[in-house]
A = this chain, B = another copy of it.
């Protein structure tokens, strides 16, 4: 066995070939990284998911698989879908707050115009609430 085996080959107790698909993305000094994706996807599926994209995209595949595996271990019921759900709640909170603040601006504009007979320079918000990403799109 080579002394520079990647974390995957080390954990799977096998020889690490120089063209090992895991080697660039699962270094031996971070065994947890491979351990997490192995536990959720299995080594063979991770290998397949890396193989099916171009070489320059593989680091991102490994990172995103690790992140999803990490989330699933942390939250076995919802995984990173739980995070998507929290972010959607946050966006809803922003939408409500922005609508409230925009209504306040309209009110102030109206009050200023009536009581002063002059208009305060105030740009209306250009934020389009209809462009927000729908849940489960």
Residues of A within 8 A of B (CB): 40-42, 44-45, 49, 52-53, 57, 60-61, 63-65, 67-68, 72, 76-84, 86-88, 90-91, 93-95, 97-98, 100-102, 104-105, 107-109, 111-112, 115-116, 118, 120, 122-123, 125, 127, 132-133, 136-137
Residue of B nearest to A110 (CB): B120
Q: Would you call B98 and A133 a contact (CB within 8 A)?
A: no
Complex Cα distance, B88 from A90, in Å, reads 10
Protomer copies: 2
Distance in angstroms from A117 CB to nearest chain B CB is 11
Partner of A98, one of B52, B98, B137: B98
Task: Report the 10 A-B pairs with minimum CB-CB distance, sorted nearest first.
Answer: A94-B94, A64-B81, A87-B87, A97-B127, A57-B77, A101-B101, A64-B78, A60-B77, A42-B42, A64-B79
**Distance A72 CA – B83 CA, assembled complex (angstroms):** 16
Question: Do residues A94 and B98 form an inter-chain contact, with CB atoms below 8 A?
Answer: yes
A19 vs chain B, min Cβ distance (A)? 21
Contact B98 A122, beta carbon cutoff 8 Å: no
Q: Report yes or no: B108 in contact with A120, Cβ–Cβ below 8 A.
A: yes
Residues of B within 8 A of A104 (CB): 105, 122-123
